[in-house]
Amino acid sequence: MTTATKTGIDTVSQATATPDEAQPHRELGLTDDEYEQIKKILGRRPTNSELAMYSVMWSEHCSYKSSKVHLKQFGEKQSDAGRKAMLVGIGENAGVVDIGDGWAVTFKVESHNHPSYIEPYQGAATGIGGIVRDILSMGARPLAVMDPLRFGPADGNDTKRVLPGIVAGIGGYGNCLGLPNIGGEIVFDASYAGNPLVNALCIGAMRHEDVHLASAKGVGNRVILYGARTGGDGIGGVSVLASETFSEGGPTKRPAVQVGDPFMEKLLIECTLEVLHAGLVEGIQDLGGAGISCATSELASNGDGGMHVVLDHVPLRDSSLSPEEILMSESQERMCAIVAPQNVAEFLAICKKWDVEAADLGEVTTSGRLTVEWRGEQIVNVPPRSVAHDGPVLERPLARPEWQDALIADSSSNLKRPQSAEELRETLLAMVASPNLADKSLVTDQYDRYVQGNTVLAQPEDAGVVRIDENTNLGVALATDCNARFVQLDPYIGAQLALAEAYRNVAATGATPLAVTDCLNFGSPEDPSVMWQFSEAVRGLADGCLELEVPVTGGNVSFYNQTGTTPILPTPVVGVLGVLDDVTKRTSMAWKDAGDLIYLVGSTRDELDGSEWAQVIHGHLGGVPPKLDLTAERELAKFLVGAGRNGKLVAAHDVSQGGVAQTLVEMALRANVGAHITLPNDVEPFVLLFSESAARAVTVIHPQDKDVFESACVRHGLEFADIGTVDSGNELTFAGQFAVSIDELRAAHVGTFPALFG
């Protein structure tokens, strides 16, 4: 900071007295316009503390300034059914959905991409920590986590650097917290080199009456900060890291990744749930990006509008921190609660029981201002809404990229396809061994999937399923998906295909899809091409959610994912939540008994553009994504849920990356049992095996259920084909084409990750 009073602190009176003093607003990421706007709001120049607060809260990451105008579609385009399911919508820490029987579920996915590039272990770990606190602050007990991850080429040096650390960080933090990791994704693409995506999803459950909101109401109520001490870690992390692209040669501002302490977070979870259930909390907010600045301004803005905070009371890890640093610090494992004065003693006693430090920072006031005091001087006096909610809104220019037409014209139809049975066999083996399709257990076995004892399904199943109520067997399913290659070809359709895939995955386990969370990972919003991709993807997602009647309940936008001027593939990761009223009836992907019939449900077209086959065999991306048919997706989902509930499905598995071939291989390997497959005559074998047409699933039934099953397909208007039987052998046989043993498939499928990362 460049200014200083005699005491070294820039106070409100000092700011009033020295209106023309130069301030480093640009270094803090604020534009000249934004700086002028702050001066206008305050009627004077901001103090250094106020400048710090605005700079962080108005950063892209906190304010959604570039995305806001697009995201509002999620609220506007909502079906009545979607609206009805939602107890708390977008804007809170996480959306809350009614799942029946008085239970509510909250879930959200968030990005921690940039910190994880700089410091893979801590970046990924604190990504988990942050999303867990979001769920906790709604009043829910966190139940499970998932991690959609994207990396550069699997054999790239940068991937070798970041992947092991990111995986260890997710495991190190999540395992120590006692949250099962039930699914996620690991996808490699050259565009993520130098900019891996680390998204973290958490789901929690609570009774309806336990839902809590982040608002500071009730004049005289106390503002209690509890959890870890505030240190110098993560200062400016939000504005500097998440809102700027790393550029070579520029000034280095990289000391800003936070350090996580999962043990403290576990104590914080138990302590928070105990004070919430004891009825001691009027409002609650976690401290994440922008730390105390964010928590106090959001609480005040959502509540009665006024709050007074004495910053000297913040417990510090480092006594030399300046007030600006204390306000901006992103030290982890902290929460802020609004507590009525008569409940403070009991609140503090529960904190003590859990060895959690707590401090009374101040109170809710009627002033309409957020005021902060430091060493007896006022250093902040702002309208909280101007910090938390009325940040800048930008209508960024957008333009369809010039290269889009050429990309679409470059179809995969000219690529050489396997001609003989032997070539088909080789292709299949190459595909199942390719990094995106290979077995991921080297990674997922580093995550605890058992803790809490309610995990019904976990990776590599289509969706994670957890039991919520042990008495009724009510439970939920969750899947995240995004084929960014399709989004690159057509962001409007691609985003909907991501939604459709997650929706289908949830339904494959027998769950009725209910709600959506999204993590929108894109390049720089200052690039009109990226902004066009973003706007198209959001429009697509909003339209798709409206049509499927699954509301978007919350999520996160991550911009500036690019290396140099090359953005990542547009990656709107979509998470779909579904409900199972009886988790004992869930459908797994493993077939079992010899003689059971294998069906392909849904229509297969010659759709290889953007496919894994085009990527793995030819390194090609071009053309148009597969046809989107949301009516078919909805009917397929209804069919899968109905058949699952009736006990007619032995197994079901969605068809997506790698096509039917990959689906069959995964089912056989999961069961460790072979099958005899007879490909239908009306489709070319290669197309049947490797096309990535959407709205399809492979299902397995007992022979005696054939008629019921087929008539159900007809009733839902779904094409179906009997493609073979499970047998007792140890081969996957494609009649008239080729056979491959389970052992050979397993060796190919399982060998890749240990060879790369073992």
Q: Which is nearer to other proteins, 180 or 383 (CB)?
A: 180
CB 745 within 8 A of CB 732: yes
Among residues 61, 620, 716, 749, the one annotated as catalytic is 61
- The footprint of other proteins on this chain (CB under 8 A) covers a number of residues equal to 32
Q: Which is nearer to other proteins, 448 or 490 (CB)?
A: 448
Among 12, 38, 162, 267, contact with other proteins (rule: CB under 8 A): 267
Helix, strand or coil, per DSSP, at residue 544: helix
d(CA 189, CA 153): 5
Q: Which is nearer to other proteins, 583 or 601 (CB)?
A: 583
Q: How many CA atoms lie within 13 A of 709 on its CB side?
A: 26
CB of 458 to other proteins, least distance (A): 10
CB of 5 to other proteins, least distance (A): 42
CB 486 within 8 A of CB 627: no
CB of 615 to other proteins, least distance (A): 29
Among 452, 678, 730, 741, contact with other proteins (rule: CB under 8 A): 452
Q: What is the number of other CB atoms lying within 10 angstroms of the CB of residue 557? A: 24
User: 342 CB contacts (<8 Å, ≥6 apart)?
Assistant: none
CB of 466 to other proteins, least distance (A): 9
Tokens of 644: 């699952």
Among 63, 455, 517, 588, contact with other proteins (rule: CB under 8 A): 455
CB of 81 to other proteins, least distance (A): 30
Contact pattern for other proteins over residues 422 through 451, marking x by CB under 8 A? ----------------------xxxxxxxx
Q: Which is nearer to other proteins, 356 or 495 (CB)?
A: 356
CB of 580 to other proteins, least distance (A): 12
Q: What is the number of other CB atoms lying within 10 angstroms of the CB of residue 397? A: 11
d(CA 643, CA 97): 25
Selected range binding other proteins among 218-226, 255-263, 372-380, 623-631, rule: CB under 8 A: 255-263
CB of 175 to other proteins, least distance (A): 6
**262-277 and 120-136 helices, crossing angle to 10°:** 0
Q: Which is nearer to other proteins, 362 or 475 (CB)?
A: 475
- Determine if 261 is a binding residue for other proteins (CB under 8 A): yes
The radius of gyration of the chain's CA atoms, rounded to the nearest angstrom, is 26
Q: Which is nearer to other proteins, 65 or 467 (CB)?
A: 467
Among 249, 250, 453, 736, contact with other proteins (rule: CB under 8 A): 453
d(CA 651, CA 699): 6
Q: Which is nearer to other proteins, 43 or 758 (CB)?
A: 758
CB 742 within 8 A of CB 674: yes
Among 263, 345, 565, 704, contact with other proteins (rule: CB under 8 A): 263
Q: Are strands 675-677 and 731-734 parallel, antiparallel or unpaired?
A: parallel
**570 to 589, contacts with other proteins by CB under 8 A?**
583-584
CB of 584 to other proteins, least distance (A): 6
For the chain, the first-to-last Cα distance in angstroms comes to 47
Q: How many CA atoms lie within 13 A of 133 on its CB side?
A: 32
CB of 453 to other proteins, least distance (A): 4
Among 266, 539, 648, 746, contact with other proteins (rule: CB under 8 A): 266
Among residues 112, 653, 716, 749, the one annotated as catalytic is 112
In the numeric block, the tokens 């309940």 are attached to 553
CB of 451 to other proteins, least distance (A): 5
- Determine if 471 is a binding residue for other proteins (CB under 8 A): no
Q: Which is nearer to other proteins, 286 or 448 (CB)?
A: 448
* CA-wise closest residue to 508 among 666, 597, 640: 640
CB of 447 to other proteins, least distance (A): 6
CB 566 within 8 A of CB 503: no
Q: Which is nearer to other proteins, 271 or 428 (CB)?
A: 271
Selected range binding other proteins among 244-252, 258-266, 414-422, 667-675, rule: CB under 8 A: 258-266
**4 to 33, contacts with other proteins by CB under 8 A?**
none
* CA-wise closest residue to 459 among 185, 653, 182, 656: 182
**117 to 176, contacts with other proteins by CB under 8 A?**
168, 171-172, 175-176
Ramachandran category for residue 635: left, alpha or beta (phi over 0 → left; psi -120 to 50 → alpha) = alpha
CB of 161 to other proteins, least distance (A): 17
Q: Which is nearer to other proteins, 21 or 470 (CB)?
A: 470
DSSP code of residue 290: B
* CA distances for 480 relative to 141, 159, 242, 462, 519, angstroms: 21, 22, 23, 9, 10
Q: Which residues of 189-212 are buried (b: 16+ CB within 10 A; e: fewer)?
A: bebbbbbbbbbbbbbbbbeeebbb
d(CA 60, CA 42): 22
Helix, strand or coil, per DSSP, at residue 91: coil
Tokens of 735: 């009649």
Selected range binding other proteins among 396-404, 452-460, 554-562, 680-688, rule: CB under 8 A: 452-460
Q: Which residues of 4-37 are buried (b: 16+ CB within 10 A; e: fewer)?
A: eeeeebbbbebbeeeeeeebebeebbbeeebbeb
- Determine if 183 is a binding residue for other proteins (CB under 8 A): no
- Chain centre to alpha carbon of residue 694: 22
Helix, strand or coil, per DSSP, at residue 499: helix
In the numeric block, the tokens 């047998």 are attached to 727
d(CA 681, CA 663): 20
Q: Which is nearer to other proteins, 178 or 460 (CB)?
A: 178
Q: Which is nearer to other proteins, 178 or 729 (CB)?
A: 178
d(CA 501, CA 696): 10
CB of 207 to other proteins, least distance (A): 17
DSSP codes joined into one string, 297-364: HHHHHHTTSEEEEEGGGS-BS-TT--HHHHHH---SSEEEEEE-GGGHHHHHHHHHHTT--EEEEEEE
* CA distances for 690 relative to 412, 561, 615, 661, 695, angstroms: 13, 31, 12, 6, 15
Q: Determine the length of the chain.
A: 758
**734 to 753, contacts with other proteins by CB under 8 A?**
none
Which regions of 366-489 does DSSP assign to beta strands (E)?
370-374, 377-382, 455-457, 464-467, 475-481
Ramachandran category for residue 505: left, alpha or beta (phi over 0 → left; psi -120 to 50 → alpha) = alpha
- 112 catalytic per annotation: yes
Selected range binding other proteins among 263-271, 394-402, 525-533, 644-652, rule: CB under 8 A: 263-271
**328 to 387, contacts with other proteins by CB under 8 A?**
354-355
Q: Which is nearer to other proteins, 175 or 427 (CB)?
A: 175
- Chain centre to alpha carbon of residue 397: 27
Contact pattern for other proteins over residues 527 through 566, marking x by CB under 8 A? ----------------------------------------
Catalytic residue set? 61, 112
Give the binding site for other proteins (CB under 8 A).
168, 171-172, 175-178, 261-264, 266-267, 354-355, 444-456, 467, 470, 583-584
